[in-house]
Amino acid sequence: MAKEFSRGQRVAEQIRRELAELIRQEVKDPRVGLISLTDVELTPDYAHAKVFFTALGGAEAAPGILEGLRRASGFLRRALGQRIHIHTLPELHFQFDPSLEEGSRLSQLIDQTVREDEARARATGEQND
């Protein structure tokens, strides 16, 4: 079973790399712009691929990018079929990946809390003097 899992991961990674290149070089839709493909999840039968992306414009830009990617999905699927050879070429489903933005937000909250704790410690230290 582990062998099948690793093959699926390799195929998903190959799909991610090829799609990233195709989107960068071939998709002319101005809504798509600069995006990064963060992950591809394949169903066990390879019939569907969930393609996760992040965008320079963040979550606000995601709806327009998503629409552009959906419109290009047929072209991308055909072009992908010319680049990789697998028994079933997956249908592409694009989804915005908020994890980078969420990570950045959490990092900012941690930094803010540390600053507040340091300020509180300084204020308490000054009161004890």
| DSSP states of 36-88 | EEEEEEE-TTSSEEEEEEEETTGGGTHHHHHHHHHHHHHHHHHHHHHH---SS
The pLDDT of residue 95 is 95
pLDDT given for residue 120 in this prediction: 87
37 versus 126: which is more confidently predicted? 37
Q: Please report which confidence band the pLDDT of residue 1 belongs to, taking 50, 70 and 90 as the band edges.
A: very low
Whole-number Å distance between alpha carbons of 72 and 28: 9
Q: Are 47 and 91 in contact (CB under 8 A)?
A: yes
Q: What percent of the chain has pLDDT over 70?
A: 93
Residues 2-36 have pLDDT tens digits of 455 578 899 999 999 999 999 999 999 999 988 99
Name the one residue in this structure whose structure tokens are 């010319």: 82
43-52: average pLDDT: 94
Tell me the whole-structure pTM to 2 decimals.
0.76
- In the predicted structure, residue 112 carries a pLDDT above the cut 90: no
Buried/exposed code over 28-54 (b: 16+ C-beta within 10 A; e: otherwise): eeeebeebebbebebeeebeebebbbb
Residue 30, helix vs strand vs coil? coil
- Do 2 and 45 contact (CB within 8 A), yes or no? no
Q: pLDDT higher for 100 or 24?
A: 24
The CA distances from residue 47 to 5, 7, 30, 87, 124, in Å, are 15, 15, 29, 10, 62
